[in-house]
C-alpha cells in the first residue's frame, strides 16, 4: 500500500511538471485542468468512460492506437488520461487487474513516442531522490 501511494505521488508530480513545462498548464488550478478535460472530443470521453467501467486495458489500447506523434495535443490528452487513471484508488485498480506501476510504464511509453522519454525518466529519478 505504501509503495502504491509513493508511486501515485511520483506519477502526479511527473504529470504536473510535464503539463507545466510543455503546455503551461497548472494542475493545481482546477479550472485549468477542467478546461483541458472539457476541450477533449467524444473519443477521449469514451476512454474515460471505459476506465470508469473497469475496462482499463481496453481504454489504454485505444489511447495508444489513436496517438498522433506529430500532434502534441494528443500527448496532452495522454497525460490527462494517465492523471485521471492515477486518481483511481488502489482497490479499483486491483479489482480491474491494473496497478500504479502500469500507469507509470504507460506514461513512460507514451512519452517515448513523443520524444520526451528521457525527460520523463529524468523526472522520475529526480523526484524519487527527494
As for how many domains the chain has, the answer is 1
Contact between 100 and 4 (Cβ < 8 Å):
yes
pLDDT of residue 130: 54
CA 54/CA 99 separation, integer angstroms: 12
pLDDT of residue 57: 97
Q: pLDDT tens digits, residue range 79-112?
A: 999 999 999 999 999 999 999 999 999 999 999 9
pLDDT of residue 33: 52
Contact between 107 and 11 (Cβ < 8 Å):
yes
- Expressed as residue numbers, the domain containing 104 is 2-129
Candidates 11, 18, 4, 3; CA nearest to 84 is 11
pLDDT of residue 35: 47
pLDDT of residue 45: 87
Amino acid at each position: 500500500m505504501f509503495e502504491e501511494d509513493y508511486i501515485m505521488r511520483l506519477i502526479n508530480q511527473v504529470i504536473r511538471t510535464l503539463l507545466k513545462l510543455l503546455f503551461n498548464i497548472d494542475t493545481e488550478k482546477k479550472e485549468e485542468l477542467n478546461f483541458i478535460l472539457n476541450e477533449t472530443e467524444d473519443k477521449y470521453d469514451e476512454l474515460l468512460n471505459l476506465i470508469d467501467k473497469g475496462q482499463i486495458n481496453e481504454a489504454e489500447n485505444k489511447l495508444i492506437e489513436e496517438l498522433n506523434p506529430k500532434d502534441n495535443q494528443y500527448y496532452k490528452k495522454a497525460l490527462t488520461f494517465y492523471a485521471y487513471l492515477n486518481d483511481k484508488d488502489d482497490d479499483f485498480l486491483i479489482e480491474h487487474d491494473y496497478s500504479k506501476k502500469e500507469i507509470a510504464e504507460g506514461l513512460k511509453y507514451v512519452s517515448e513516442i513523443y520524444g520526451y522519454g528521457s525527460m520523463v525518466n529524468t523526472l522520475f529519478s529526480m523526484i524519487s531522490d527527494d
